[in-house]
Chain A
Amino acid sequence: DAGVTQSPTHLIKTRGQQVTLRCSPKSGHDTVSWYQQALGQGPQFIFQYYEEEERQRGNFPDRFSGHQFPNYSSELNVNALLLGDSALYLCASRYTGQGLYEQFFGPGTRLTVL
């Protein structure tokens, strides 16, 4: 079992650009959540996708958007990048039918905005 995988591992962009990050959930999982982890901070919840719809959203602007595909994989898109968007972006997946708390995290994508 490959677990949760994310791509790319690292990414460098400039201010104003757009970026797309990708996540493949653990086998059998159908719910994907995205988190932003700034340097030296704990992860912050961005949003959660289930059945190809955004189900919950944290306190992030509309520049952050996402998508879930029929195979449960997910993308995180960030438009009009700001320096403050530099962070580690974590994807987490779980199976809705099991206990609510068995959530598995990927290794993250490190985004640097110059």
Chain B
Amino acid sequence: GDSVTQMEGPVTLSEEAFLTINCTYTATGYPSLFWYVQYPGEGLQLLLKATKADDKGSNKGFEATYRKETTSFHLEKGSVQVSDSAVYFCALDQTGANNLFFGTGTRLTVIP
């Protein structure tokens, strides 16, 4: 069945450090891939998405590239800020009907 494996956290970085959160997936066919972010006390927010191989999603300085050959969708940011502290979830949608399958989440803490 479908599965999403995320880099285990928590991750603690200093402000302006480079961020990578790894995500790999198992799915039949060609799923769409997403990164969601959950700030403390808030609902999940879509951070970025990619719907086909080699697509690059980007938003707020974050980027992720859909790599079909490695079944990966790693999240990167060149310079993190304290305000980026949150839990990040990788997710896939196999059916195209927004039935999302989430990874377990990676907690990021950025210290000044």
Decide: A42 near B46, CB < 8 A? Known: A56-B95, A100-B96, A101-B51: no
Decide: A42 near B43, CB < 8 A? Known: A56-B95, A101-B49: no
Most interface-central of A42, A44, A100, A107 (chain B CB within 10 A): A42
Decide: A42 near B99, CB < 8 A? Known: A101-B32, A107-B42: no
Q: Which of B14-42 contact A (CB under 8 A)?
A: 32, 34, 36, 41-42
Decide: A42 near B104, CB < 8 A? Known: A90-B44, A103-B46: yes
A46 to B36, CA, bound (A): 18
A55 to B102, CA, bound (A): 20
- Contact mask for chain A residues 28-43; partner B; CB cutoff 8 A; 1 contact, 0 none: 0001010100001111
A107 to B40, CA, bound (A): 10
Q: Does B100 contact A (CB under 8 A)?
A: yes
Report the minimal beta-carbon distance from B67 to chain A, rounded to whole angstroms.
Answer: 19
- Contact mask for chain A residues 8-38; partner B; CB cutoff 8 A; 1 contact, 0 none: 0000000000000000000000010101000
Q: Please indicate the chain B residues that have their CB under 8 angstroms from the CB of A45 in the complex.
A: 99-101
Q: Are B34 and A101 in contact (CB under 8 A)?
A: yes
A103 to B44, CA, bound (A): 10
Q: Are B44 and A43 in contact (CB under 8 A)?
A: yes
A58 to B99, CA, bound (A): 9
Q: Please indicate the chain A residues that have their CB under 8 angstroms from the CB of B104 in the complex.
A: 40-42
Report the minimal beta-carbon distance from B43 to chain A, rounded to whole angstroms.
Answer: 4
B interface residue numbers (CB < 8 A to A): 4, 32, 34, 36, 41-46, 49, 51, 89, 91, 93, 95-105
A interface residue numbers (CB < 8 A to B): 3-4, 31, 33, 35, 40-45, 48, 55-56, 58, 90, 92, 94, 100-108
A-B contact pairs, 12 of them (CB 8 A): A33-B98, A33-B99, A42-B102, A42-B103, A43-B102, A45-B100, A56-B95, A90-B44, A100-B96, A101-B32, A105-B36, A108-B43
